[in-house]
Structure 1
Amino acid sequence: MKGLIVAIQFLTRLPTPRIAVSDAEFAGSMRWFPAVGLIVGAILAGGAWVGAWIDPWVGALAALLLWIGMTGALHLDGLGDIADASGAAHKDRARMIAVMSDPHVGSFGVVAIALQIAAKLVLLHGAVAEQLWWAIALIPFAARIGPLLWTRMLPPLHAGLAARFAHVIRPVHLAIWAGVLLIACWFAPSLVAAPVAMLAWTSWLRRRIGGISGDGHGAGIELTESTLLLAALIVARMA
């Protein structure tokens, strides 16, 4: 339970008891990331459902504001940094890492964040209009399985956050959450697209960036969430 509290504190701005943790305990909290996604998703779905009583656009906006507010735009920041770093990747590794570590957001990052917010709003509107409450609730959970996979499949890019997470995830942890994801697919079949999205991000990071970082985790979560929202709409239209 301590690991879950630490994961909530790291990934969200939700109120939790303040506790002291060691570096090892902080790193181990990654095993609870998908559980935090379940909490985030439940709140999102609730906000979208309430807002939908007024209008689907209001429901979508409520969900988006909750999404950004609860996470403190943590993952959006990672997306912006990865976009900027990708723009510098053609130069050399040192320059790419320097750009990624720069606290300022460049033009690539601004565009990427703006497009992501717009995409989520439009996709959430479609999901609310189709009343895909289970999908909205479970997508944040599925996306947060990604960091467990990426930390197993990719080397740390530098001595940062991702390096602290390295080696704390074992195959059994992935197997447990994969089993939960399989159950979740019963309620939201479109979640079968989650492994495809995660593996696609793994491949892109390996080719373009060369490894995983905290920014890579955040960007991957954001892009997986948007991909799964789109998948939910496609499945709903095919049904």
Structure 2
Amino acid sequence: MDRQTGGEADWPGRGALYDLAGCLRFYSRLPVPQLPGEPDPHRSPDFTTLPRMLPLAGLILALPAALILAAAWWIGLGPFLAATLAVTVMVVATGALHEDGLADVADGFGGGTTRERRLEIMRDSRIGAFGGAALVLALALRIGALATLLDRTGHAAATALLLAAAVSRLAALAPMVLLPPARPGGLSASVGRPNRASLTVALGICLVVALFAVPLGLPVHGVALMILFAGLAALALTRLARRKIGGQTGDVIGACQQVSEIAALLALVAAVAD
């Protein structure tokens, strides 16, 4: 009998499944029940191992949006409405968690003149002009990219949405891996940092998703560009965070996911240009 699971027998993949459930709870509003033998589901997440399942969690979170995108296109709503509905579903599923991070980072980095002032602005729950503009532009870019992909690739745009969701969540780990916490007492400092094994598993899952995206309608060079540009966008924001606040926060990680997803979708749009 396994003491750590309250008497439940151990079974292969148990830890990975617990981490997947933890990812879905932490990064979304989905009602994820406690799994058999799982420790307290409301405990603080352990980011030494949890991120290994982030790409798969992103895939699951994007699946309803991808289905809505394909269905709306199939019934003739047109690319703009179909893309808008899909992005709406994504925002609802995640509780606008990453969008909130993007807005806070835009306000802090754009409105603060010192490191301390930037962190203070980022902690403020109110949205300023920089944050509002960032949200509008980010939503417009995501909707526009998906609408363009629908025009050029048809239902393969749903595959692109799934791949972008997985890749961008892996890319969003860049600040956590490369930068120290900007606030020693903040949440990002308390949850730990991904270990090498966790990152290797996450990368492997992303590569498997990318391989499956090709027979589902995406060109090989387009998939490669999505991964490349998502990574470059994450590294660029990581470098900016180092310069502006000397580290990373949860908001920086959320913003990193947004810019990486946008970069991935735009890269594919360029790859399938007429």
Distance 1:231 1:216, change over 3 A: same
Pick one of 241, 246, 260 that aligns with 1:210: 246
Which residue matches 1:110? 132
Distance 1:174 1:27 in 2: 9
Q: Distance in 2 between matches of 1:164 and 1:147?
A: 18
Q: Which has the larger radius of gyration?
A: 2
Q: How far is the alpha carbon of 1:191 from its aligned partner?
A: 2.6
Q: Counterpart in 2 of 1:180?
A: 205
| Pick aligned residue for 1:161 from 187, 201, 210 | 187
Q: Give unmatched runs, 5+ long, in structure 1.
A: none
Deviations for 1:47-82, whole angstroms, at most 9, x for unmatched residues? 100010222222111211111111111111111100
Matched, 1:221 2:257: yes
Q: Is the 8 A contact 2:168 2:260 kept in 1?
A: yes
**SS of the counterpart of 1:211?**
coil
| TM-score, reference length from structure 2 | 0.79
Consecutive unaligned residues in structure 2, runs of 5 or more: 1-16, 35-39
Instruction: Call closer, same or farther: CA 1:192–1:30 in 2, change over 3 Å.
Output: closer
Per-residue CA distance 1:114-170 (angstroms, 9 max, x = gap): 111111111111122222332111111111112333211011011222112333x11
* Structure having the larger proportion of residues in helix: 1
Structure 2 counterpart of 1:65, which letter?
A: T
CA distance in structure 2 between the aligned counterparts of 1:28 and 1:178, rounded to whole angstroms: 13
* 1:1-239 pair list within 5 angstroms: 1-18=17-34, 19-23=40-44, 25=46, 28-53=49-74, 54=76, 55-90=78-113, 92-129=114-151, 130-131=153-154, 132-158=157-183, 159-167=185-193, 169-186=194-211, 187=213, 188=218, 189=223, 190-193=225-228, 194-237=230-273
State how far apart, in whole Å, the 2-side matches of 1:122 and 1:207 are.
Answer: 31
Q: The residue matched to 1:15 in structure 2 has which SS?
A: coil
Name the CA distance, whole Å, in 2 between partners of 1:103 and 1:35. Answer: 30
Q: Is the 8 A contact 1:79 1:218 kept in 2?
A: yes
Deviation string, structure 1 residues 28-54 (Cα, Å, up to 9, x no partner):
433322221010222221110001022
Cα pair distance change 1:87/1:58, threshold 3 Å = closer
Deviation at 1:102, TM superposition (A): 0.7
User: Which stretch shifts more, 197-206 or 108-117?
Assistant: 197-206
Cα distance in structure 2, aligned partners of 1:185 and 1:125: 21
Shifted more, 174-183 versus 76-85: the winner is 174-183
Report runs of 4+ in structure 1 exceeding 4 Å deviation.
24-28
Q: Is the 8 A contact 2:164 2:261 kept in 1?
A: yes
Answer whether contact 1:87 1:108 (CA < 8 A) is retained: yes
Q: CA deviation at 1:208?
A: 2.5
Note if contact 1:27-1:164 (Cα within 8 Å) is conserved in structure 2.
no
**SS state of the match for residue 144, structure 1?**
helix
**1:103–1:27 distance in 2 versus 1, CA, 3 Å:** farther
Residues 156/176 of structure 1: CA separation in 2 closer, same or farther (3 Å cut): same
Report the CA distance shift for 1:57/1:140 in structure 2 as closer, same or farther (over 3 A). Answer: same
Percent of pairs with identical residues: 30
Aligned length: 236
Cα deviation digits, residues 183-206 of structure 1 (max 9, x gap) = 333325133322222222222221
